[in-house]
Chain A
Amino acid sequence: MNEVLDIQIERNGPIAIVRVAGEVDLYSSPQLRKVLLDLAGETTRYLILDLEKVTYMDSSGLASLVEGLQRMEKYGGRLLLCSLQEMVQNVFELSRLDTVFPIFEDLETAQSSLSASDE
């Protein structure tokens, strides 16, 4: 496995926050895919993927995220994205995945949305 992305995982009960840094492409996306699929289990009800430090993402990165989303949806989990840089936001819009993923401006807003949905 190519460890080219810097991926930090923070767990807080049913919530996992995953912070990714680097360029997500055909070379590095298997690393992100593995992290997402490992986390996407019954114990992770919510997964927030913080992309603030992702400077580049191609279709292989998008594919990894779609796979993670679909895995989580099978057991009623939710995958949220936050802090997308302009380039990454643009790729989501071009592939119309901005209508599929819940995307938040920053981590705080993403976390607040979970608190609101739990009320």
Chain B
Amino acid sequence: MDTFKEEIQLTIPSDARYLRILRSTLESLAVLFNFDETDIRDITLAANEACSNIIRHAYSNRNDRPIFVTIRGFPDHLTIELVDHGKPLDPAKLQARQLTDVRPGGLGLHLIHTLADEVIYDTEFEDGNRIVLIKRRKSGHE
């Protein structure tokens, strides 16, 4: 069982203006949790993409719905949980597409899966969607 260290909760509206707030909060926290610069950049972009997907797909671009963000710091990893009460997303459509197919859409999922060490879609969650991104600390950084 992981030893819980710290937890921060944040609720933002489903308005893309707030993505910047999410990013700066995550960056500050990851620094506080002693993650290195590359990991901070990676997890921040992954969370930005996951949140953008909630705005666009779960809430169909409505800008007045809540997105609940919980960031948890553990000795060897960081988790970012994103919860919404929008349309349940189809798990079959949550897979990253082939990059050889050059087209505008679908890059966000690829980035999420590439940048986070683990992505958990809670298929049991009944009132919307719950996704957890996990970023493990590189050895040597404590």
Query: Footprint of B on A, CB under 8 Å?
Result: 2, 23, 25-27, 56, 58-60, 62-64, 66-67, 70, 87, 90-91, 94-97, 100
- Chain B residues with CB under 8 Å of A62's CB are 104, 107
Q: Which residues of B contact A56 (CB under 8 A)?
A: 23
Asked whether B56 lies within 8 Å of A26 as measured between CB atoms, the reply is yes
Residues of A within 8 A of B45 (CB): 58, 91
CA distance A56 to B52 in the complex (A): 15
Is A100 a contact partner of B115 (Cβ separation < 8 A)? Answer: no
Interface secondary structure of B, over-half rule = helix
Mark the stretch among B12-20, B28-36, B81-89, B121-129 that contacts chain A: B12-20
Q: Are A94 and B111 in contact (CB under 8 A)?
A: yes
Which B residues from 112 to 141 make CB contacts under 8 A with A? 114-115
The CA-CA distance from A58 to B45 in the complex, in Å, is 7
Judged by a CB distance under 8 angstroms, whether B103 is at the interface is yes
B48 contacts A25, CB within 8 Å?
Answer: yes
Known contacts A25-B16, A26-B16, A59-B52: A95-B104 contact under CB 8 Å: no
Asked whether B55 lies within 8 Å of A66 as measured between CB atoms, the reply is no
Given pairs A26-B16, A100-B102, 17 additional interface contacts (CB within 8 A): A25-B48, A26-B19, A27-B17, A27-B19, A58-B52, A59-B111, A60-B52, A62-B107, A63-B107, A64-B104, A67-B104, A90-B41, A94-B110, A94-B111, A94-B114, A94-B115, A95-B107
- The digit string for B42-64, where 1 denotes a CB below 8 A from any CB of A, is 00010011001001100000000
